[in-house]
Structure 1
Amino acid sequence: MAKEFSAKQIMFISLMLFSMFFGAGNLIFPAFLGQAAGDNLWPSLAGFILSAVGLPILGVIAVAKAGSFHELNSRVHPVFALIFPFIIYVSIGPGLAIPRAGSLAFEMGAAPFLPAEAAGAPAALFIYTAVFFGLVYWLSMSPSKLVDLFGKLLTPIVLTLILVIFVKSLITPIGESGQASGNYGSSPVFQGFLDGYLTMDALAALAFGIVIATAIRSQGVTNEKALSRYMMFAGMGAGLLLTIIYILLGTMGAASASLGTSENGAQILTNIMTSLFGTSGSVILGLVFTLACFCVSIGLVISCSQFFAGAVPRVPYKVWVLILCLASTAVANLGLTQILTVSVPILGMIYPIAIVLIILALVHSFIQNSPYIYVTTVLFTGLFSLADTVNQTFLSEALTPALSYLPLYGEGIGWLVPALLGAAVGLVLGKRKPSRVPA
């Protein structure tokens, strides 16, 4: 008989997943959107939530329905199931997201409180990131305890701090929202959708599936159907929390127009905190950033280590944790500008493929009699993404005039038509040679 989860256990799993998603970027993006959208805040937020919350949660559900990320990738091809996850885990792990989290935690949680000379010294960043990733290493050694760490401790602290900030903004109003700027004025829903799309959290959703499954199993759930069901519940619970926090941050961002225009969300949040709490606002904001970056780092280290331990069984999980923490410390101190130059184009290339996989998994019951649709859809999407990445990275956008004929290319969704064309080709080939793909 399958073990039944209580509502309390589902809540803790949802809090854990929320904290794994909620990093520094998730603080910065909605605050910036709020100020830029101004009086068009609500339609812009609707679009943002649709993609920034919808895509990641659908990613968790897709992995749950498929059974595992490996099973989902295997529907394309066994070789693809080896290569694609490897690229994802390296890109969102030690190649970008983990070291960036450590660097941002230093910039927002430590540097403002150090003398100017010390804050800019390489030794300060090294000492901070060494301690930061040392703690990440220690807490990542026992992934089964993640529910207690995140669900019962760290996430409630982060949520409480954000709630305190919001309540203070109601008691002491920051100001009035301004007029919408740029595309937030002409097409607020679509611009908000694009902002959420660019968070690329759907990649993390695919990677976190293994961690969520492990956490649920550690609570005594062994039945695979029950496991999938609870993963879906956790995804929806985390999505609800993300939606609430994005609304709070977006509302405060919109009210910050009277504090002056800022270049990014970090500056906007700093201005808000100074307006609400004075000099102590920097301390509260630094704590929120540090905890958010810390939680994301632990979640990414655990998910990447579990993946690599499965891919290379001769190297145990705990050794992978050490390798990833050491690599992340090194990368964080090498300078993220160079890392971003390499990693961001790769992320941009694989993100459309990830979205296509999520969509195919969600409609799998309708297309499982079409054996080629996964292959052709991923192939067409991947070829476009590769061409676009080469165009932007190596060819100085020489191919842009030709690629811009594709609908929505200028908005960053040029892959949509190739994906639809690939799906159509797969359906046609499936009808010519019917065969059933294993569910």
Structure 2
Amino acid sequence: MNKRTVSVGLMLFALFFGAGNLIFPPQIGQSAGGEVWPAMLGFFITGVGLPLLAIIAMAVTGGGLQGLTERVHPVFGIVFPIILYAAIGPLFGIPRTGNVAYEMGVVPFLPERLAAQPLPLFLTTIVFFGVTYWLCLNPSKLVDRIGNILTPALLIIIGAVMVKASIDPIGPIGATAETYENNPMTKGFMDGYLTMDTLGALAFGIVVINAVKQNGVTGKRMTRMVIQAGAIAGICLAAVYFVLAYLGATSHSLGSAENGGQILNAVVYELFGPSGNVLLGAAVVLACLTTSIGLITACAQYGVKVFPRVSYKKIVLLLSIFSLAVANIGLNQLITVSVPVLTAIYPLAIVLIVLSLVHPAIKGRAEVYQGSLLLTAAVSAIDGLKAAGIEISMVESVLRSLPMYTEGLGWLIPAVIGAFLGYGMTLVSSNSKLKTEN
């Protein structure tokens, strides 16, 4: 494993590790209490395992998200990437990085009256997305800027918190909240949706592949290098999640909090005093900045393919301005709106990744993809409407009979059934063709 692979791996970790990754593990830790490790195991599946599988799938195809989606159907190859890039990009993912950077990197240092005003958020997001825009103008330097500079700084800050927490623990692991008493692993699995990392991996994958190809690496060597970089990113993510969850689980003596950001603020203040806010603020801003850079770069590179007449720099500028505007709506509103959308499209991304990994085994049959994704979408769309507060009672009564539906995994069995039905259709059509020819 060479230095370039390590740099790409650290860049990939930084691209993944953004706003949600800092907020959700501490929240899970505090809420899960004694069930923190089963809950985090489920979180690791959606927060570490699936993103890595997505990177591997894209490395094998070498064609990015479009190469994966076109295996299903040409229309799906157009529609799904647009929805995905919109969700992880200017509608939710990118604005959220600016919001979290403000909430955790700026608000703790503002007077309470000033923090309640809209102007500080507006000014902060102007600076934040201005810096993001500048760093995105030359994507060929992403590895040097992120992998060799920003990521080590971020890991050093998180490492300092980890060491201090190990030497001087805040307290014992607390009690388990009611939502985590039954099936904590499944609950953690669903919590992993909110990081958007699996969706992000489908977008970041082409950025990583391009970063590797810049050195003239292609073919199997490129695939191997991308997989190794993904392993480095996964190990770093798992280690940081472990620390953050532990901090949340042992924070009960500090009182309850509404979100993971408040938990981290309280924990770091307890460990380091007033200087802890500066330390945490620096970590948050770095994490959010690297993710914002990766998302805008990935969305802009895709945008150039869709709109070849518009330059990369113009698309970056438009994304930065639009994200700035959306960010000023507020963090809570963004999270509220994003949950139904993520609930609807996340299962589709998971099924697409799994099918891509078994692509040779199913001999690339489009019917297998279509059957599995069609039944998955039928269930996940209802889940999305339910998350938005829209319930269709007649359909709900039918879907409740599905295994694990109440846990949010009702799409799993239909996905498997759809794949087998699609495979069966190919066998029937093949036999019909043979009879016709004979």
TM-score bucket of the superposed structures, by smaller chain: over 0.9
Partners of 1:199 and 1:252 in 2: CA distance: 18
> One-letter code of the match for 2:148?
K
Q: Is the 8 A contact 2:88 2:196 kept in 1?
A: no
Partners of 1:198 and 1:130 in 2: CA distance: 25
Q: Which residue of 1 aligns with 2:57?
A: 62
Q: Is the 8 A contact 1:217 1:227 kept in 2?
A: yes
Indicate the larger mover: 155-164 or 57-66.
57-66
Secondary structure of the corresponding residue to residue 94 of structure 1: helix
Indicate the larger mover: 373-382 or 40-49.
40-49
Partners of 1:172 and 1:158 in 2: CA distance: 22
Secondary structure of the corresponding residue to residue 334 of structure 1: coil
Change over 3 Å in CA distance of 1:84–1:107 after alignment to 2: same
Secondary structure of the corresponding residue to residue 90 of structure 2: coil
Residues 355-413 of structure 1, C-alpha deviation per residue, up to 9 Å, x if partnerless? 11000001111101634101111122122222333455473453433322221111111
Q: Is the 8 A contact 2:193 2:342 kept in 1?
A: no
Match of 2:141 among 145, 155, 172: 145
Residues 178-217 of structure 1, C-alpha deviation per residue, up to 9 Å, x if partnerless? 2333253443333333322443311001011111011112
Residues 137-163 of structure 1, C-alpha deviation per residue, up to 9 Å, x if partnerless? 000001111111111111111111011
| Displacement of 1:342 | 4.5
> One-letter code of the match for 1:433?
S
Partners of 2:260 and 2:111 in 1: CA distance: 24
Match of 1:352 among 332, 347, 362: 347
Match of 1:131 among 127, 146, 166: 127
Secondary structure of the corresponding residue to residue 402 of structure 1: helix
Change over 3 Å in CA distance of 1:421–1:336 after alignment to 2: same
Q: Is the 8 A contact 1:22 1:292 kept in 2?
A: yes
Partners of 1:268 and 1:337 in 2: CA distance: 16
Partners of 1:434 and 1:303 in 2: CA distance: 40
Q: Is the 8 A contact 1:371 1:434 kept in 2?
A: no
Match of 2:407 among 407, 411, 417: 411
Match of 2:282 among 287, 306, 321: 287
Write the mapping of 1:24-423 to structure 2, written as runs, cut at 5 A.
Answer: 24-68=19-63, 69-221=65-217, 223-336=218-331, 339-340=334-335, 342-368=337-363, 370-393=365-388, 395-398=390-393, 399-423=395-419
Match of 1:20 among 10, 15, 25: 15
Change over 3 Å in CA distance of 1:101–1:172 after alignment to 2: same
> One-letter code of the match for 2:226?
M
> One-letter code of the match for 2:172?
E
| Displacement of 1:29 | 1.6
Q: Is the 8 A contact 2:193 2:343 kept in 1?
A: no
Secondary structure of the corresponding residue to residue 433 of structure 1: helix
Secondary structure of the corresponding residue to residue 367 of structure 1: coil
Structure 1 unaligned spans of 5+: 1-5
Q: Which residue of 1 aligns with 2:435?
A: none
TM-score between the two structures when normalised by the length of structure 1: 0.93
Q: Is the 8 A contact 1:93 1:300 kept in 2?
A: yes
Q: Is the 8 A contact 1:302 1:321 kept in 2?
A: yes
| Displacement of 1:67 | 2.1
Q: Is the 8 A contact 1:371 1:430 kept in 2?
A: no
Partners of 2:143 and 2:154 in 1: CA distance: 15
Identical columns (%): 47
| Displacement of 1:220 | 2.8
Partners of 1:22 and 1:177 in 2: CA distance: 25
> One-letter code of the match for 2:321?
L
Tell me the C-alpha RMSD between the 2 structures: 1.9
TM-score between the two structures when normalised by the length of structure 2: 0.93
Q: Is the 8 A contact 2:55 2:227 kept in 1?
A: yes
> One-letter code of the match for 2:184?
P
Partners of 1:35 and 1:102 in 2: CA distance: 25
Q: Is the 8 A contact 1:369 1:434 kept in 2?
A: no
Residues 261-310 of structure 1, C-alpha deviation per residue, up to 9 Å, x if partnerless? 22321121111111111111111111111111111100000000000011
Partners of 2:115 and 2:398 in 1: CA distance: 47
Residues 95-141 of structure 1, C-alpha deviation per residue, up to 9 Å, x if partnerless? 01111110111111112212223222222211111111000000000
Partners of 2:205 and 2:61 in 1: CA distance: 11
Residues 36-69 of structure 1, C-alpha deviation per residue, up to 9 Å, x if partnerless? 2323333333232123110111111111122221
Indicate the larger mover: 128-137 or 198-207.
198-207
Secondary structure of the corresponding residue to residue 53 of structure 1: helix
Partners of 2:366 and 2:305 in 1: CA distance: 27
| Displacement of 1:316 | 1.1
Indicate the larger mover: 14-23 or 414-423.
414-423
Partners of 1:118 and 1:282 in 2: CA distance: 18
| Displacement of 1:433 | 2.5
